[in-house]
Amino acid sequence: MYERKIPLTIDCGLHLTREILNGKWKPAILNAISMNIKRPSEIGRTLPDATRRVLSAQLKELEEHGIIEKKIYPQLPPKVEYSLSEIGWSLMPIIDAMNIWGDQNRDFLEKVIAKDPKITKMSKSPCELIRRETSDEK
């Protein structure tokens, strides 16, 4: 065994939340699930730039962290549906706020972020926010 040299720090709530949301696609995944896009293949179609491998990994983490729940239908072909847990739903206002803030400041943000050499690809479609109409009655 080897003692970790760089221990990760979790102190105030901010860090806990950061940890939960830490993962390139996690916010988007949660957003998708909240919109009733619950099957892995659907989520994959919604996030075409995410690999299935990474998607699976982040879904698993979210599940292990208790943010989403997984329902497996023992069929062929297999069918799986994810849904937000109680805690997961309580996270949605934050996701929504991020979504809205980003859209509201889109023009500015795209400008300043475009300078960043790390960002090379930008597609501009705002996320759908139809959830309110559809599945918010949870």
Residues 6+ apart with CB under 8 A from 69: 63, 82, 83, 84, 85, 88
Site membership for DNA, residue 59 (CB under 7 A): yes
The one of DNA, its own copies, none whose footprint includes residue 56, by CB under 5 to 8 A per kind, is DNA
Taking residue 80's Cβ as centre, other Cβ atoms within 10 Å add up to: 14
Smallest separation (angstroms) from DNA to the CB of 107: 23
**Stretch binding its own copies (CB under 8 A), from 36-44, 52-60, 76-84, 108-116:** 108-116
**What is the DSSP track for 35-60?**
TT--SHHHHHHHSTTS-HHHHHHHHH
Smallest separation (angstroms) from DNA to the CB of 88: 17
What token pair was written down for 32? 């998708």
Report yes or no: 11 and 2 within 8 Å, Cβ to Cβ.
Answer: no
Site membership for DNA, residue 51 (CB under 7 A): yes
**Stretch binding its own copies (CB under 8 A), from 34-42, 52-60, 68-76, 99-107:** 99-107
Chain positions 75 to 104 lying near DNA, rule: CB under 7 A, are 77-80
